[in-house]
Structure 1
């Protein structure tokens, strides 16, 4: 038995796990539990479990938060006593709990404010597809890889500086690969496809930041798909008017939707549907 203070009930450890008596717990509940001095009159309570059950069923949100604060403080300092041998006065325990919950409410309020501000900013500045510079064309690429499927599909779309749809392709590739591998293949297939045209200035976009950075970097890539990265880099280096940059998913939506078209064969004659997709995204 260990006395907290001369006028505070004792704590009794039993067994290997150790426990605190209801006396200490009751004393914790009897301490002021918020800055206004609110406390529970536990001396009038005959059955603590029944009292707690009734509170959980009928108490308001604020009172339930205060109860949770007391229970958390009891559990925290009970573990301190059992696991670390640290004895804490009940008054100190409840004082710590009060400060903890004051800080918790402050952080919660700040988080809510930040979240609300972020949602507002997101709503006001949703990233949209932007056209290329005057006289240039823009190619967007994306890939869709369904888990368990025998292959994957890619979507390619070309538009000009006045947002006019120029050409599009949906291609199904019978090969199992990861999502990342599908993305780099989509970029390569898009660059190969561009070679069929006579565009001198093309802005290529992909929502795969990893591969955009890898292709634009002069460093040797040691990944298994490094040879695909090298091929993409070689194509771009041979054409000074072509560039590759990252686009956020929402700005790449047309290519993403195209990649999801359920094509089992190469589909290059889907102009009508592609024009609808590109006109909306």
Structure 2
């Protein structure tokens, strides 16, 4: 059974606390495997189990003792697209779906401080089960686009507040989409990214248009400078004129 399928099966058949332990312990094993490959001696399994228990308990105690921090939500009330700061980039991502056909798609665009498109991409995806899961897939899709293009100083935006909250507050949603959230969280800590924030749909028109385009084109598409289709340039230009 593939690991992702195994994770989904376990998620659906055990309690939230047990699944949290499973995800964190799996991550700990992966970290130790990396150590084996690169030299240092790995920890014994019993030590990893104790560490996972200690980590989860410490987190839960801290969570109970702290008031909610509004800064973690990073909800932008802006209804218009805004340029990133000088010499920085902006990644916008969005997912779309056709309920009747059962089709899901994702779109991502990276733009500079002048509003110019650096790279754009879209593709269809297999049915992830929920709209939130699709929005998580597109965040990962966009982050990988940044890494593949070797970009840095990137502000990340999604118009799904639920996804932004899930990623910024990792363990609250661990029992639902923990595996992909864990992967996204690791990427966001790579040093290439600024804040991960939520925006309104009206400020995310280019990424939404890319995702919508992918619903009707089965092949993955990507565009770099000089190859952008006219419809994409029209939407991006409209952002700058509002």
Q: Report the Cα offset of residue 265 of structure 1.
A: 1.2
Contact residue 170 and residue 263 of structure 1 kept, 8 A: no
Partner of 1:276: 234
Partner of 2:134: 182
Cα distance in structure 2, aligned partners of 1:244 and 1:229? 13
CA shift for structure 1 position 150? 4.1
SS at match of 1:162: coil
Q: How does 1:1-281 map to 2 (within 5 A)?
A: 127-219=79-171, 221-239=173-191, 241-261=193-213, 262-269=216-223, 271-272=228-229, 273-281=231-239
Cα deviation for residue 278 of structure 1 reads 1.4
Distance 1:264 1:150 in 2: 14
1:249: Cα distance to partner? 0.9
Contact 2:78 2:200 in 1 (8 A): no
1:131-180 residue CA offsets vs partner (Å, 9 max, x unmatched): 11111000100000111324311111111111111111111113352211
Superposition TM-score, scaled by structure 1 size: 0.52
Alpha-carbon separation, structure 1, partners of 2:192 and 2:219: 33
Q: CA RMSD in A?
A: 2.0
Q: Gaps spanning 5+ residues in structure 1: where?
A: 1-124
Post-superposition offset of 1:229? 1.0
- Residues of 1 paired with 2:121 and 2:232: CA distance? 8
CA distance in 1, matches of 2:160, 2:128: 19
Task: For 2:206 and 2:197, locate their aligned partners in 1 and report how far apart those are by CA, in whole Å.
Answer: 16
C-alpha contact 2:206 2:235 (8 A) present in aligned 1:
yes
Kindly provide the CA deviation profile for residues 225-246 of structure 1, in whole angstroms up to 9, marking residues without a partner as x: 2111111111011225433111
* Higher RCO (C-alpha under 8 Å, 6+ residues apart): 2
Deviations 1:198-233 (A, max 9, x none): 222000100011111121125353333211111111
2:110 aligned counterpart, secondary structure? strand
**Length, aligned pairs only:** 157
* Structure 1 residue 190, shift from structure 2 partner: 0.6
Unaligned runs of 5+ in 2: 1-76
Give every structure 1 segment of 4 or more consecutive aligned residues whose post-TM-superposition deviation is greater than 6 Å: none
Please identify the structure whose Cα radius of gyration is greater. 1
CA distance, structure 2, for counterparts of residue 241 and residue 176 of structure 1: 26
Question: In the aligned structure 2, how far is the partner of 1:255 from the partner of 1:233?
Answer: 21
TM-score for both structures, normalised by structure 2 = 0.60
How far apart in 1 are the matches of 2:188 and 2:86? Answer: 20
